[in-house]
A and B are shown apart, each in its own frame.
Chain A
Amino acid sequence: MEVLLFGISKELMGQQVLSLPVDSKIANVLELKRWILNQYPEMGNLNSFAIAVDQEYADDETPISGNQEIALIPPVSGG
């Protein structure tokens, strides 16, 4: 499973795309958020971050799998 990174998360995590280990057994958005916070504790200093699945904001219960486009959305600041 891969996660697209943008803005500050790309810098904090030092990569453009996060590759999750095959054995990470992440089944939904909440588990992904927990895995990220565990591996990259500095992400916990952000105001918040969201996960998008197939280019839509996803809530914690949304199931995820490797054939979807998954992205980490740090606090937005357009405009």
Chain B
Amino acid sequence: MKKIVLVDQINLNEVYSWLQDPAAGGINLFIGNVRNHAQGKAVVKLEFEGYKPMALREMEKLAATAMEKWPIKKLLMVHALGSKQIGEPVVVIGTATAHRKDAFEASRFLIDELKNKVPIWKKEYFADQTVWVNAHP
């Protein structure tokens, strides 16, 4: 079973409840948060923008690949869009599997590939400027 969504705000309790499965001995949760610094400077907040229909399609593809590769009972990918404050969760990858090894591996694959392929963009707000992350060399 898989669930892939883009949301305004991530509710971690809901995420964990959804991942529960009696056949899963391991639940791996990766939570990406807003960090308070980048390039040695204080970050005030982040803004996320997405090409929503394509982002969902790309996330679906990654989920399908992972489910072929690992015996996953439940798979969850959630990304938040909009304005995010320091410490807020912005992305959650959750996998529930019978044994922990598969859950760790699948989650790592999903977050790494999400960062490479899914059309979502992050803008960092510093006190004196704003920067679209990864845009320039």
Are A78 and B122 in touch, CB under 8 angstroms? Answer: yes
Q: How many residues of B contact A (CB 8 A)?
A: 29
Assuming A6-B49, A47-B136, A47-B137, is B54 touching A76 (CB within 8 A)? no
In the bound complex, what is the Cα–Cα distance between A79 and B79 (angstroms)?
Answer: 7
In the bound complex, what is the Cα–Cα distance between A45 and B133 (angstroms)?
Answer: 14
Interface residues of B in 13-70 (CB under 8 A from A): 32, 48-51, 53-55, 57
Interface residues of A in 1-59 (CB under 8 A from B): 4, 6-8, 11, 45-47, 52, 55-57
* CB closest residue in chain A, given B61: A56
Contacts of A73 in B (CB 8 A): 51, 119
Contact for A77 among B53, B54, B122, CB less than 8 A: B122
Contacts of B122 in A (CB 8 A): 77-78
Are B119 and A77 in touch, CB under 8 angstroms? Answer: no
Give 1 or 0 for each of B88-101: 1 = CB within 8 Å of chain A CB.
Answer: 00110000000000
In the bound complex, what is the Cα–Cα distance between A47 and B135 (angstroms)?
Answer: 6
Are A74 and B132 in touch, CB under 8 angstroms? Answer: yes
B114 proximal to A (CB < 8 A): yes
Contacts of A4 in B (CB 8 A): 51
Are A71 and B51 in touch, CB under 8 angstroms? Answer: yes
Are B121 and A8 in touch, CB under 8 angstroms? Answer: yes
Are A52 and B91 in touch, CB under 8 angstroms? Answer: no
Contacts of A46 in B (CB 8 A): 135-136
The residues of B with any CB-CB pair to A shorter than 8 Å are: 32, 48-51, 53-55, 57, 79, 90-91, 111, 114-123, 132-137
